[in-house]
Amino acid sequence: MNNRIKNLREESLNAVNRITAERALLVTRFYQSDEAKGLSIPVQRAKAFEYILKNKELYIGEGELIVGERGPAPKATPTYPEICVHSLKDLEILNSRKKVWFRVDQETKKVYEEVIIPFWTGKTNREKIMSAMTPEWHEAYAAGLFTEFQEQRAPGHTVSGDKIFKKGMLQIIDDIRESIKSLDFVNDPRAYDKHEELKAMEIAAGALIMWAARYAERLDLLASAEENPARRQELQQMAAVCRRVPAYAPQTIHEALQYYWFVHLGVITELNPWDSFNPGRLDQHLYPIYKKQIEEGSISKDEVYELLQAFWVKFNNHPSPPKVGVTAEESNTYTDFCLINIGGVKEDGSDACNEMSFILLDVIEEMRLLQPSSMVQVSKKNPDRMVDRTMKIIKTGFGQPSIFNTDAIIQELLRQGKDLVDARKGGASGCVETGAFGTEAYILTGYFNMPKVLEITLNNGRDPMTGKKIGIETGDPHHFTSYEQVLDAFRQQLEYFMNIKITGNNTIERIFANNLPVPFLSLIIDDCIKNGTDYVAGGARYNSSYVQGVGLGTMTDCLTAIKYQVFDNKKVTMADMLKALAADFEGYEQLRFDLLYNTPKYGNDDDVADEQLREVFEINYNALNGKPNTRGGQHRVNLLPTTCHVYFGKVTGALPDGRKARIALSEGISPVQGADQCGPTAVIKSAAKVDHLRTGGTLLNQKFAPEFFEDDEAIHNMTKLVRSYFRMDGHHIQFNVISAETLRDAQKHPENYRDLIVRVAGYSDYFNDLGEDLQEEIIKRTEHETM
Amino acid sequence: MQGTIFDIKRFAVHDGPGIRTTVFFKGCPLNCLWCHNPESIGCEPFQSVRKIRLDDHLFDQPEKVGREVSVSEILNMLRKDRMFMEESDGGVTFSGGEPTMQPAFLKQLLIASKDEGFHTAVDTCGYTSRQTLAEIFPFTDLFLFDLKHVNSEKHLAFTGKSNEVILENFRYIIESKKRIRVRIPVIPLFNFIDDEMKNICDFLIPQKDNITQIDLLPFHTIAQNKYKRFGIANKMEGIKGLSKEDIYDAKKIFEKEGFKVKIGG
């Protein structure tokens, strides 16, 4: 990387995470103004978006090539008071907490106290949601049965397709006008709603062009005052780019990246959607433009690298917007889950790996930034050299890229009823979530604590952590005489809580559709324009809702322990097991030892243990899959925890697998920490017993000593390990290459490991930013030794 | 048919090409002072106890070192990783202990493995009969041959046996045109001496064409606890393990002669 990039990268790493009241203040001013009055909701939202872009501060950093920030400066992070409003106490916590802090200055607090809090209290979407939820929902939520994604962030989780790389906003406006023209007020009872939505979309598209024009003007101004002729020319060039995009389709790499970046900021300024929007199949989007430019000689390879590196830095400037309350613990990270996809297959199903794929891999390796995150899609059609190259980056130990199975992803999407070409254009986003890029709203709704359901089942509907009865009575387990009875009671209990979750989801979806449409995001995702319907209201071609199951490994081992120790071998009575759990194994140390060391465990390719995995999977799947959402789509299963397994562990008492109360649950579909004793092939074989193709994503984490990547031969073996898992339809695998010693040292001397990044359940994070319990867990996770 | 093994290790990536499963036979004719698996030397299985600490309690976990298994049991284990073997051009490695100590069992396993389509490797110390080797030749794709020293007296002092039979068998395998990968444990006081390494190298030079690779296995102290646990006298106690860097010069001796050399196998 050259000096310019070095400086930009360093500035980004050193920028202080802070809260800015800029957006909150602008959106408040808008809603207080006459301009906001008398408008339909979608048009009001679009006008608010326009107002923000018209009035927000512009930022152009020294030496920057790609311009635009969500806040007034890098890492100045806005808030979204229409979603939820931070209290002064929240701001104080953000300012002073040890990990993932955001500085809040006096001025911001003052604005909050005098303007934001008084105006928004009682009007936020979060309050609407909370007052609409049933008492059963509130009880289950408070007990930690599930979390709710949408209480503090907007429904997100979608990824750009190729549309913006082919169409300018002016063409998109033409499409909107066409759609308006074809409205049929006589026969379509929703014609007026569609009209207002489309009008809103047009305003939003125009707003982005206007914002780019503001940048162009400012860049010209800077150019005229610039003394260095090289930089002056650069600024003029950048101004020209901002005049071309987003209005017109991009013709150069510079225009393509700047266009995407404006769109990115548009999406995350309009609202704060989960998980952050991302460009998706970036190598596919850029390659045709790159090829043309190289052939005509209008760009050098060095310039391509420089632009991409400058683009990478922009992502890193944008920490995820900070939350309040329970979610501060459950998903506590600066990462906003932009997951750039590389490789995979083309629309026609052939190998999509191209020169740009390798360029992007070089950029990832050299930039070594937390954001954007990256992944490589591996199809059976992709060459080994692409995977080997990926392994060499993984070897450097910062947890990127993760590796996904394109062929599985396509089958998952087809099973959900998607078109084959749409499926091929898809990939994975966030942590591991399968989606049809550019055509799907696949909304994650919250994590679901499966082991907690078992805990409540073993207490006949009561939550032993609080003594409250929050579940249904599925029978006193003292009287259970067979394992099947336990399983059946668990099934009933899980269905009960899942239905509460789905009820909540279907209410919350409507609250968003009615109050907080996203006309800007709707421009990007097909077929919102054609349908005249918003992204959050079912306008997308495909509409899925996910509930992310957590603790599959823990759950499996719990059922195995009950089946194997209580019923099959009668080593312990149910009564004693229940007593031991109630006592958190105090006085039952031998039992706990036997549960941990002398009971079959998931992750060892042992059917005695893995059989229960299938049962848990089916119960969870049947309770959720196919249940309708309000957007014309269905609920689907995926299995990933982000960091929620730590939070869920904290609210869950002792469990039959020997786990003590409040310890983290297993993460993703990985075995319980330390339970896998037969090496990585056994873990993979066990994990392949999950029916990945019926999910929308699973997460398997494997930690390896660096020695496994020591030379080309070793790296190739790792490639083959992945290929084998994918032949068994595995969805995703990621490697942590690090030694436990290094991590211990990092705990002792965080100052020496400022840039130490590890992979935590689906994304990478700075080790120093992780909570101690998560740090401990990563250290504990089986390190497969080279012996 | 039954035999005695003491371990099966999956994802063995240092015992031959690709991803392999290694079956460790119990029983060895040598008694190397540095042995990393001292519990594998005796032929008979024995009962042991492993102490495991859980919170503040110490538990005794009974553990059997070595077990009788049938060919079909082992084959079931091998089949579990067929996918990985196929993808990586890996296979199965029979190691020990010394696999040729149980010649009939080894031969049956090799035949069964070839029937399954697995690539087969035999990791041997070379102290066996010519006839045993001849019997397994047709079913063995690769030999991993532990060549420790060319000086017979020193070999006797450090391994309990002199090396004439071993060197003879080495030549026999070479003459039979079987593929061979040479493994040299690099041991302080024994062969971690420039001249000694050069002598080993000189011995190998005429056979260069049939040697696919040389693995240098640096002495390490990872087995110390095993000696304590099983109550076996550790004659290498106090001697420091060697690092990769330590044996870099040794590696160069072989590389200079055109061998492909790897540290750690």
**Domain closes at, from A119, A143, A167:** A143
Angle between helices A253-270 and A191-225 (to 10 degrees): 120
Residue A31 lies in a domain: yes
**Beta-strand relationship, A76-77 and A440-449:** unpaired
Integer-rounded Cα radius of gyration of chain B: 18
Contact in structure between A201 and A522 (CB atoms under 8 Å): yes
A681, A704, A715, A784: best to mutate for the B interface, most B CBs within 10 A:
A681
Q: Mark whether A494 and A631 lie in a shared domain.
A: yes
Which neighbouring-strand residues pair with B47? B64
Pairwise CA distance, residues A759 & B155, whole Å: 48
Least confident of A222-226, B1-5, B216-220: B216-220
**Domain closes at, from A143, A177, A206:** A143
Are A708 and B9 within 8 A, CB to CB? no
Chain A CB contacts of B18 below 8 Å: 717, 720
User: What b/e string do you get for A748-759 counting C-beta neighbours within 10 Å, with b at 16 or more?
Assistant: eeeeebeebbbb
Pairwise CA distance, residues A405 & A394, whole Å: 17
| Of B69 and A398, more confident | B69
Work out the pLDDT band at A601, boundaries 50, 70, 90: very high
Q: What is the percent of chain A with per-residue pLDDT over 70, rounded to a whole number?
A: 95
Are B54 and A589 within 8 A, CB to CB? yes
pLDDT tens digits for range A201-214: 999 999 999 999 99
Please report where in the chains the tokens 């130990």 appear, as a residue.
A397
Work out the pLDDT band at B241, boundaries 50, 70, 90: confident
> What mean pLDDT value characterizes chain A?
93
Q: Mark whether A428 and A454 lie in a shared domain.
A: no
Pairwise CA distance, residues A712 & A717, whole Å: 9
The three-state secondary structure class of A77 is: strand
Reply yes or no on whether the pLDDT at B81 is more than 80: yes
CB half-sphere exposure, A172, CA atoms < 13 A: 36
Q: Mark whether A665 and A518 lie in a shared domain.
A: yes
**Domain closes at, from A143, A160, A179:** A143
- What is the torsional sign of CA B256, B257, B259, B263? negative
Residue A212 lies in a domain: no
Are B88 and A708 within 8 A, CB to CB? no
Reply yes or no on whether the pLDDT at A760 is more than 60: no
Pairwise CA distance, residues A628 & B156, whole Å: 77
Q: Using CA coordinates, name the residue in chain B closest to A719.
A: B88
Q: Mark whether A423 and A455 lie in a shared domain.
A: no
Q: Mark whether A334 and A425 lie in a shared domain.
A: yes
Residue A107 lies in a domain: yes
Nearest CA-CA partner of A158 in A506, A514, A534, A532: A534
Pairwise CA distance, residues B77 & B23, whole Å: 10
Work out the pLDDT band at A761, boundaries 50, 70, 90: very low
Work out the pLDDT band at A747, boundaries 50, 70, 90: confident
pLDDT tens digits for range A102-129: 999 999 999 999 999 999 999 999 999 9
Q: What is the percent of chain A with per-residue pLDDT over 90, rounded to a whole number?
A: 85
In angstroms, what CA-CA distances link B74 with A74, A679, A721, B82, B143? 60, 17, 22, 13, 20
Work out the pLDDT band at A736, boundaries 50, 70, 90: confident
Chain A CB contacts of B88 below 8 Å: 716-717, 720-721, 724
Choose among B10, B57, B61: nearest Cβ to A589.
B57
**DSSP letter string, A500-558:** HHHHHHHHHHHHHHHH---HHHHHHSTTHHHHT--GGGT-SSEEEEEEEEE-HHHHHHH
Are B59 and A597 within 8 A, CB to CB? yes
What lies within 8 Å, CB to CB, of B76 at 6+ separation is none
Choose among B54, B59, B81: nearest Cβ to A681.
B81
In angstroms, what CA-CA distances link B92 with B11, B75, B78, B113, B144? 10, 10, 7, 8, 12
- pLDDT for A765: 64
Question: Which residues of chain A approach chain B closer than 8 Å at the C-beta?
Answer: 589-590, 592-593, 596-598, 605, 678-682, 684-685, 707-708, 710-711, 714, 716-717, 720-721, 723-724, 727-728, 784, 786-787
**DSSP letter string, B179-233:** -EEEEEEE-TTTT-SHHHHHHHHHHHGGGGGGEEEEEEEE--STTHHHHHHTT--
Chain B CB contacts of A787 below 8 Å: 222
The three-state secondary structure class of A451 is: helix
- pLDDT for A673: 79
Work out the pLDDT band at A755, boundaries 50, 70, 90: low
Nearest CA-CA partner of B94 in B27, B174, B152: B27
Pairwise CA distance, residues B62 & A471, whole Å: 42
Query: pTM of the full predicted structure?
Result: 0.94
Reply yes or no on whether the pLDDT at A331 is more than 60: no
Residue A310 lies in a domain: no
Are B57 and A728 within 8 A, CB to CB? no
A405, A597, A723, A724: best to mutate for the B interface, most B CBs within 10 A:
A724
Amino acid residing at A72 = P
Amino acid residing at A701 = N
Q: Mark whether A475 and A607 lie in a shared domain.
A: yes
Q: Mark whether A739 and A631 lie in a shared domain.
A: no
Pairwise CA distance, residues A226 & A219, whole Å: 10
Q: Mark whether A464 and A398 lie in a shared domain.
A: no
- pLDDT for A756: 65
Question: What is the nearest CA distance from A682 to chain B, expressed in angstroms?
Answer: 8
**Among the options A431, A528, A558, A644, which is catalytic?**
A431
Domain span at residue A119 reads 1-38+69-143
Q: Mark whether A609 and A569 lie in a shared domain.
A: yes
Choose among A593, A678, A708: nearest Cβ to B54.
A593
Pairwise CA distance, residues B8 & B73, whole Å: 11
- pLDDT for A758: 64
Question: What is the nearest CA distance from B133 to chain A, expressed in angstroms?
Answer: 27
Reply yes or no on whether the pLDDT at B103 is more than 60: yes
* A250-264: average pLDDT: 98
* B168-193: average pLDDT: 94
- pLDDT for B227: 85
- pLDDT for B132: 97
Are A681 and B222 within 8 A, CB to CB? no
Residue A664 lies in a domain: yes
Q: Mark whether A614 and A714 lie in a shared domain.
A: no
Pairwise CA distance, residues B162 & B151, whole Å: 8
Least confident of A1-10, A295-304, B141-150, B215-224: B215-224
Q: Mark whether A108 and A136 lie in a shared domain.
A: yes
**What total number of domains does chain A contain?**
3
Residue A244 lies in a domain: no
Work out the pLDDT band at A457, boundaries 50, 70, 90: very high
Reply yes or no on whether the pLDDT at A786 is more than 50: no
Chain A CB contacts of B57 below 8 Å: 589, 593
What lies within 8 Å, CB to CB, of A267 at 6+ separation is A273, A277, A518, A520, A521, A524
Are A593 and B55 within 8 A, CB to CB? no
Catalytic-residue membership of A431 = yes
Amino acid residing at B247 = I
Q: Mark whether A612 and A761 lie in a shared domain.
A: no
Chain B CB contacts of A681 below 8 Å: 10-11, 19, 80-81, 84
Across A457-517, the runs of DSSP E, i.e. the strands, are: none
Question: What is the nearest CA distance from B117 to chain A, expressed in angstroms?
Answer: 17
In angstroms, what CA-CA distances link A287 with A29, A290, A355, B42? 43, 5, 8, 63
- What is the torsional sign of CA B251, B252, B256, B258? positive
pLDDT tens digits for range A389-407: 999 999 887 789 999 999 9
Residue A571 lies in a domain: yes
| Of B37 and A542, more confident | A542
Chain B CB contacts of A387 below 8 Å: none
Residue A167 region by backbone torsions, left for phi larger than 0, else alpha for psi between -120 and 50, else beta: beta
Reply yes or no on whether the pLDDT at A757 is more than 70: no
Work out the pLDDT band at A787, boundaries 50, 70, 90: very low
For chain A, how many residues are written?
787
Question: Which residues of chain B approach chain A closer than 8 Å at the C-beta?
Answer: 9-11, 13-14, 18-19, 52, 54-55, 57, 59, 61, 80-81, 83-84, 86-88, 90, 222, 262, 264
- What is the torsional sign of CA A149, A153, A154, A158? negative
- The domains of chain B, with CATH numbers, are 2-263 (3.20.20.70)
Q: What is the percent of chain B with per-residue pLDDT over 90, rounded to a whole number?
A: 78
pLDDT tens digits for range A656-697: 999 999 999 998 999 997 788 888 999 999 999 999 999 999
The three-state secondary structure class of A300 is: coil
Residue A286 lies in a domain: no
